[in-house]
């Protein structure tokens, strides 16, 4: 039986961590849809046309080791505003969403555009300052030489671009449950998400 959980939210809000934990808890498949755009962005940085790259994207492309770099993140945000790129990736995402056994999908427009019929929808968010601090610690832990102010500026720039793009802007679905992780531990955020999903399952 198909059961789709759509988890949206801005960068570094914790939706990836929550999505993986939710998928494990319910035994569902998990797809980080942001990796689709990162894979296309990485191919664009390699010199490929982003639309062609999106149309030819393969699951193996999601295993590239450079998909989490800041450069690829910026490229992903840029290719995501291209309507033809988004169209090329929609079918892939919708097929995964209705897979047998359930699916957890995290991204920026799952509940609003990709799977508006999803049985459960969450919007995971946190303040820009909290998200920048998390990303800063993650990047410096990997050896990046970057300042907190630079990371905060990057987070705000991505928010601005994602929320104001013409195609599928970042926003909560009307029926999404908001999970603000600004002051929550990971365990608390995951528990809140699971409780919200179980409430939808019980309907």
pLDDT level of residue 142 (50, 70, 90 thresholds): confident
Phi-psi region at 130: left, alpha or beta (left = phi > 0; alpha = psi -120 to 50): alpha
Name the average pLDDT for the chain: 93
Quick one: pLDDT at residue 112?
96
pLDDT value of position 178: 98
Q: Mean per-residue pLDDT for 46-74?
A: 92
Dihedral sign from CA coordinates of 177, 161, 18, 5: positive
pLDDT at 168 over 90: no
Greater confidence, 99 or 177? 177
- pLDDT tops 90 at residue 68: no
Q: What is the dihedral of CA 147, 144, 106, 157, to 10 degrees?
A: 40
For the chain, which residues make up each domain, given as ranges? 4-201
Residue 70: pLDDT band with limits 50, 70, 90? confident
May I ask the CATH class of domain 4-201?
alpha beta
pLDDT(1) > 80: no
Q: What is the pLDDT of residues 36-51, one digit of tens each?
A: 999 999 999 999 999 9
Residue 30 forms beta bridges with which residues? 104
Q: Residues of the chain with pLDDT > 70: what percent?
A: 100
d(CA 201, CA 120): 8
Q: Which residues are paired to 178 by β-bridges?
A: 123
pTM: 0.84
Confidence of residue 91 (pLDDT cuts 50, 70, 90): confident
Structure tokens at 42: 């990485």
Segment 124-141 mean pLDDT: 95
Which pLDDT score is estimated for 36? 94
Q: Which residue has the higher pLDDT, 203 or 90?
A: 90
């Amino acid at each position: 039986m198909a059961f789709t959980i759509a988890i949206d939210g801005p960068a570094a809000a914790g939706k990836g961590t929550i999505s993986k934990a939710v998928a494990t808890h319910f035994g569902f498949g998990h797809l980080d849809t942001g990796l689709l755009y990162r894979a296309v962005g990485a191919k664009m940085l390699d010199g490929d046309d982003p639309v062609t790259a999106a149309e030819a994207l393969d699951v193996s492309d999601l295993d590239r080791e450079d998909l989490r770099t800041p450069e690829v993140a910026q490229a992903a945000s840029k290719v995501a505003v291209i309507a033809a790129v988004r169209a090329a990736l929609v079918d892939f995402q919708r097929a995964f969403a209705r897979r047998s056994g359930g699916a957890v999908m995290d991204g920026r427009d799952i509940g609003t555009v990709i799977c508006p019929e999803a049985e459960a929808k969450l919007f995971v968010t946190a303040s820009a300052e909290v998200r920048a601090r998390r990303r800063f610690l993650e990047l410096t832990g990997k050896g990046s030489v970057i300042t907190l102010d630079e990371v905060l500026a990057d987070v705000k720039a991505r928010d601005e671009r994602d929320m104001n793009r013409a195609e599928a802007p970042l926003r909560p679905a009307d029926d999404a449950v908001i999970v603000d992780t600004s002051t929550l531990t990971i365990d608390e955020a995951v528990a809140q998400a699971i409780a919200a999903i179980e409430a939808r399952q019980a309907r």
